[in-house]
A and B are shown apart, each in its own frame.
Chain A
Amino acid sequence: MNFAVIQTSSGWIFFTEHRAEILSTTLDHLMLVVIAMTIAILIGVPLGMLIVQRPALRAIALGIASIFQTIPSLALFGFLIPIPFIGGIGKRTAIVALVLYALLPILRNTYVGLTGIDPAVLEAAEAMGMTRAQILWRVRFPLALAVILAGIRTATIITIGVATIAAAIGAGGLGTFIFRGVALVSDSLILAGAIPAALLALLADFLLGLLERRLRVA
C-alpha cells in the first residue's frame, strides 16, 4: 500500500478514477482462480486418494505433476497455445495452465496427508473390521483434511500469482494492467494490477489458514 501513496499523488488518483475497472478486473481474475482451483481440486484430491491405493501410479502421477511445476509459467502458457482443444488464445488455455500448476501441491499434500497417519490408528481400524473404503472415508480422509487443505492453500496462492501472467495470452485478469503498465512505463498501471493481486493472495491465505486450523485434530 505504501508504494501507491509514496509514489506521487497521481498514483492514488489513478486508483480512484479507475475504481470500477479495477474492481471488475479483480473479479475477472478471481473467476480465473476459482475455476482453475475447482478443477485442480476435483482432479488432485481423487488422484491423490487413488495413488495411495495404487503404488504403481504414484511415481508417475507425482513425477508428471512435478514436471509441470518446473516449466516457467510464461513458457507453459506459450506451449499450450498451439495445442488443439485445450490451446489457443484466451481464458480456456489459461485455466488449463493454472490447473497444471495447482495440481502438484494438492496431489502431494493429499498423498502425504493420507499416508502420514499414525500406524497404530490404521492398525486398530483394520483390526476392528473396517473395510478399506470405511478406513479411507472415516479415518484417513478426515485425519488428512488439514494437510490436504494446506496444499489447496499453497496452490491457491500460486494460482493467484501465476494468473497475472495469463493476460499474456489474452485471458484477462489483473495481469492486463501489469502488462499494459510495463508497455507504457506506467507505475500506476502496474500497481493497479499488482496490489489487488497481492491483496487477493493475502486474503486467500488468511481465510484458508483459518479453515485449516479448524480442521486440524490432535
Chain B
Amino acid sequence: MNTKTASFSGNLIEFHDVAYYINVIPARVIVSGISLAIPQGETVVLLGRSGSGKTTLLKLINGMLLPSKGQIRVEGRATTDWDPIRLRRGIGYVIQEAGLFPHFTVAENISLVPTLEKWDEPRIAARVEEMLQLVGLDPREFAKRRPRELSGGQRQRVGVARALAADPPILLMDEPFGALDPVTRAELQREFSALARRLGKTIVFVTHDLREALLLGSRIILLEAGHIAASATPQEFLQLDHPEVRAFTSSLSVGPGSPS
C-alpha cells in the first residue's frame, strides 16, 4: 500500500523480465524474457501470429494471469500487490466478440463499472449518453436495445463505450475489430484511431493485422513464440531486417485483404 506514491516512474505499465508458464509437467512456456515499458498516453500494438503470446501479455497486465517469473507494474505497483478487483476497475477491456451481457440493455452494459463503483444515478445516465455519442451511436435509438438487436460493428462500439465508461487511464484491446467485415473494420479502425488520439489513454492493442498495427500504434511490438522479436515505431517497423518482420510485411503486399 505504501508503495503507491513512492515508486511511480512515469511508465504506466512496466514488464520486468516476465515469463508465464502453464504449470503442467513439463512446464509449457507461453511467454518469457519480456521487458518493456509503456509510458502514459502511448498506444502500443502487440503484433504476432496466433499463439505468439499477445493475449497472455494483455491478461498479465490486468491480473487475470499472474507472472510465473518477473514482475508487471501498473502505476508503479506490482500486479501481485494489487487487489485484482481494484486493478481491473481502472483498466478498460475490449475483446473480439465484445462480450456484451445479453441480458442487459446497451445502457446497462455501458454503466456496469460505474454501477459497481456506486456512482449516483444522474451521473451514470449522463455518462452513458456521453459514451454512446463518443462511439457514434444515437443514445435515443440505442440505449434501450439489447445486444442481440445490434450489428457486429455496433456491438463493438458498445464494447468500447463500456470499457471507457469509468474513465480508466488504461485500455486493453484484444483484436477488437477482428471479427468484423472488412468495410466495417476499416471504418471502426479510422474512428478509433482518432478517438484514441483525442482521449490520451494508454492503450495496449493486440492484433495479427499489420495494417491495423501501422494505423493505430505509436509503437509496434512484434511477438514471436513468446518473445519480443522487434519493437519499433510504425515508420521504423517496415524497414527492420528481421525474418518475422519480413513475414508480416510480405503478407501486406501479397493480397489486398487483411493478413492473418
Contact = CB atoms under 8 A, between A and B. Distances in A.
Contact of A123 (B85, B91, B95, B113): B95
B125 to A, nearest CB: 19
B226 interface: no
Interface string A127-149: 11111001000010011000000
A124 B100 contact: yes
Contacts of B88: 126-129
Looking at A127, A139, A217, which has the most chain B CB atoms within 10 Å of its CB? A127
B102 A127 contact: no
Given A127-B93, A130-B116, A142 B99 contact: no
Contacts of B147: 218
Given A120-B97, A124-B93, A218-B148, A129 B85 contact: yes
B123 interface: no
B96 interface: yes
A121 interface: yes
Interface in B79-99: 84-89, 91, 93, 95-99
Contacts of B101: 121, 124-125, 139, 143
Interface residues on A, range: 10 to 19
A118 interface: yes
Nearest to A215: B103
Interface in B163-187: 172
Contacts of B89: 128-129
A217 B109 CA distance: 15
B188 to A, nearest CB: 18
B187 to A, nearest CB: 22
A130 B85 CA distance: 7
B227 interface: no
A123 B62 CA distance: 12
A121 B99 contact: yes
B148 A124 contact: no
Contact of B116 (A134, A143, A218): A134
14 contacts: A118-B97, A125-B99, A126-B64, A127-B93, A128-B93, A128-B116, A128-B162, A129-B84, A129-B86, A129-B88, A129-B89, A129-B113, A217-B103, A218-B147
Interface of A: 118, 120-131, 134, 139, 142-143, 217-218
B146 interface: yes
A123 B100 CA distance: 10
B201 to A, nearest CB: 16
Contacts, number: 66
A118 B113 CA distance: 20
Looking at A127, A129, A131, which has the most chain B CB atoms within 10 Å of its CB? A129
B229 interface: no
Nearest to B117: A129
Contacts of A128: 88-89, 93, 112-113, 116, 162
B102 A121 contact: yes
Interface in B89-138: 89, 91, 93, 95-103, 112-113, 116
Interface in B48-98: 62, 64, 84-89, 91, 93, 95-98
Contacts of B162: 128
Contacts of B86: 129
B186 to A, nearest CB: 23
B102 A218 contact: yes
Interface in B148-207: 148, 162, 172
Contacts of A122: 99
A211 B86 CA distance: 38
A143 B64 contact: no
A57 B64 CA distance: 25
B157 to A, nearest CB: 15
Contacts of B84: 129
A126 B86 CA distance: 12
A143 B102 contact: yes
B100 A129 contact: no
Contact of B146 (A125, A127, A129, A218): A218
